[in-house]
């Protein structure tokens, strides 16, 4: 409460010209008589450190803020008098504007030093009253200035503290550098472990004086309150806040960095989080359902799911000798990537279930729960997601299989075992990202998920519950190729709505119709999902 009251009082003080005249000291005023006047030697700009403290009645001092590169401009007011102006005066993110000291008479203090004092009474009847005491000294190219504010009363009620402002600065020569730039702005986990939440280092836009960066989509606000940037600025410039000081970037906060050049030129940079990002590098793999023999154990990228559980069942029936998702060392970066393959599963009518001729390899975010009577319902697409996804970027390779099969009769899942060769077609892959609405937000339940089934309302691509979608399809791609998908919005995003999000990678884009080519192989790596 006391600090807020001080801010109000001080803002009022600084909004008017509080120094009406500088008074004489006990020493004799300077009598001009030289060709170059006394005041000429002090005219110019000064740069230094300004401190503001609250002094309680007990004498205890409470720091209110420090400005490391405060500028004061001194101009000539007479042969032995100067005016002083403190520009852009601010502390603790409070801008108090400009303070003017008018017609300050210089007093010879000996050894080339000159002093001045000033006293002013401010009285706004019924609102604010205060006494302002200023004293200063020029000596050897330096300026020292003290401002004491006491006898402060608000609404006729005196407050129990005073305020002390001190300043020490050096006179500039005029040859100082005017460059005020942030050259580098980085987060280094070697400096602070919390900085590992920054997944894309900041980008500096010099034209707009903005700096933005990406954080992990798992980053919590409590951690984003303590990020520690390392800041490099122009030679001989200073920056506030200082490099290495923890800053609060949570909940969309913008932090302003002020760079002051050697000559006092000031530039402000606005720094904020541009969005969050989930990075999937496919380096870590986890065992799925354990088999009774090593060759019956399959693996999925950690956090992902696949149709490997279905392939395992078919493998146990000797209908295939391969899984549909496997790790590979043919990686874009790192040591591993994800290989997704469509496989030949013979085709068989087992009466209670139909085994398809072609089983499409699919890797996705969600769950796979085998449904023997309707295999397309086995894919439970989507994980709970509380952000607004914007784009998916990554790398892929693709090799289509040599023989393409189609199913001619609908419903396809009831005739999938009767696929026939179609020599006119060549297989294509598909990579999709989908956000859809859900009533069920419990990660342990999967009854409200969209699937691959034919029913449009429950289909991941066609349901009216889909809020946003992006898809990439294509054919043979021998070398690594980058893609960048921006989501197309079907509905306006609503932060109060529950959503599920999925990324789906399919080796055969028409796998939901049981069309495709055995041995079609899609390899993916280095996915980056950007969210707002």
Which pLDDT score, from 0 to 100, does residue 22 have?
55
Instruction: State the pLDDT at residue 35.
Output: 46
Exposure of 453 by Cβ count < 10 A (0-12 exposed, 13-18 middle, 19+ buried)? Answer: buried
In this prediction, residue 34 carries a pLDDT of 45
Tokens, residue 73: 């401009």
pLDDT of amino acid 162: 84
Nearest to 281 by CA among 297, 308, 298, 304: 304
> How buried is residue 84: exposed, middle or buried, by Cβ count under 10 Å (0-12/13-18/19+)?
buried
Pick out the chain residues at pLDDT < 70: 1-35, 89-97, 122-128, 289-294, 351-352, 372-373, 443
Q: How far apart are CA 200 and CA 189, in angstroms?
A: 13
Burial of 9 (0-12, 13-18, 19+ CB in 10 A): buried
Question: In angstroms, rounded to a whole number, what is the distance separating the alpha carbons of residues 412 and 459?
Answer: 14
Cα-based distances in Å from 389 to 178, 273, 362:
42, 15, 21
- Rounded Cα distance, 240 and 498, in Å: 41
* Residue 192 CA neighbour count, 13 Å, CB half: 19
- Burial (CB < 10 A; 0-12, 13-18, 19+), residue 492, is exposed
Nearest to 375 by CA among 388, 392, 391, 357: 357
| pLDDT in the model for residue 389 | 94
Q: What pLDDT does residue 67 have?
A: 83
φ, ψ for residue 458 (rounded to 5)? -105, 0
pTM metric for this prediction: 0.67
Residues in the chain: 532
Question: What token pair was written down for 530?
Answer: 């950007």
């Amino acid at each position: 409460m006391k600090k807020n009251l001080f801010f109000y009082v001080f803002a009022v003080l600084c909004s008017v010209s509080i120094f009406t005249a500088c008074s004489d000291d006990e020493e004799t005023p300077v009598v001009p008589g030289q060709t170059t006047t006394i005041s000429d030697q002090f005219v110019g700009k000064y740069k230094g450190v300004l401190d503001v403290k609250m002094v309680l009645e007990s004498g205890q001092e409470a720091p209110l803020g420090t400005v490391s590169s405060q500028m004061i401009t001194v101009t000539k007011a007479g042969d032995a008098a100067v005016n002083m102006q403190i520009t852009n005066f601010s502390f603790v993110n409070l801008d108090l504007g400009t303070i003017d000291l008018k017609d300050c008479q210089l007093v010879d203090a000996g050894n080339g030093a000159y002093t001045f004092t000033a006293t002013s009474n401010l009285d706004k009847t019924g609102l604010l009253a205060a006494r302002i005491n200023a004293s200063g000294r020029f000596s050897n190219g330096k300026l020292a200035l003290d401002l004491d504010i006491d006898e402060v009363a608000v609404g006729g009620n005196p407050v129990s503290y005073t305020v002390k402002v001190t300043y020490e600065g050096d006179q500039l020569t005029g040859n100082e550098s005017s460059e005020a730039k942030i050259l580098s702005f980085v987060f280094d986990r070697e400096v602070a472990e919390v900085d590992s939440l920054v997944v894309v280092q900041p980008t500096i836009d010099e034209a707009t004086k903005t700096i933005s960066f990406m954080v992990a989509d798992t980053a919590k606000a409590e951690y984003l309150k303590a990020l520690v940037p390392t800041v490099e600025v122009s030679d001989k410039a200073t920056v506030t806040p200082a490099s290495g000081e923890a800053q609060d970037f949570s909940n969309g906060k913008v932090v302003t960095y002020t760079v002051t050049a050697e000559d006092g030129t000031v530039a402000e940079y606005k720094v904020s989080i541009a969005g969050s990002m989930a990075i999937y590098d496919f380096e870590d793999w986890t065992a799925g359902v354990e088999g009774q023999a090593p060759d019956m154990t399959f693996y999925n990228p950690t956090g992902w799911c696949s149709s490997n559980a279905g392939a395992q069942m078919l493998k146990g029936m000797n209908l295939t000798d391969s899984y549909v998702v496997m790790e590979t060392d043919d990686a874009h970066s790192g040591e591993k990537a994800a290989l997704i393959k469509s496989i030949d599963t013979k085709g068989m009518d087992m009466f209670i279930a139909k085994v398809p001729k072609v089983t499409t390899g699919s890797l996705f975010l969600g769950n796979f729960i085998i449904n023997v009577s309707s295999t397309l319902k086995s894919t439970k697409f989507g994980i709970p997601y509380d952000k607004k996804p914007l784009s998916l970027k990554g790398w892929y390779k693709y090799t289509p299989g040599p023989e393409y099969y189609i199913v001619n009769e609908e419903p396809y899942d009831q005739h999938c075992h009767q696929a026939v060769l179609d020599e006119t077609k060549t297989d294509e892959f598909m990579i999709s990202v989908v956000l859809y609405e859900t009533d069920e937000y419990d990660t342990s339940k999967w009854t409200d998920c969209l699937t691959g089934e034919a029913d449009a309302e429950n289909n991941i691509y066609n349901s009216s519950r889909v809020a946003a979608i992006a898809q990439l399809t294509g054919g043979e791609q021998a070398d690594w190729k980058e893609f960048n998908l921006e989501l197309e919005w079907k509905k306006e995003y609503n932060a109060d709505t529950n959503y599920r999000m999925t990324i789906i990678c399919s080796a055969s884009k028409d796998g939901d119709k049981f069309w495709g080519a055995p041995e079609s192989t899609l390899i993916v790596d280095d996915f980056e999902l950007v969210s707002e």
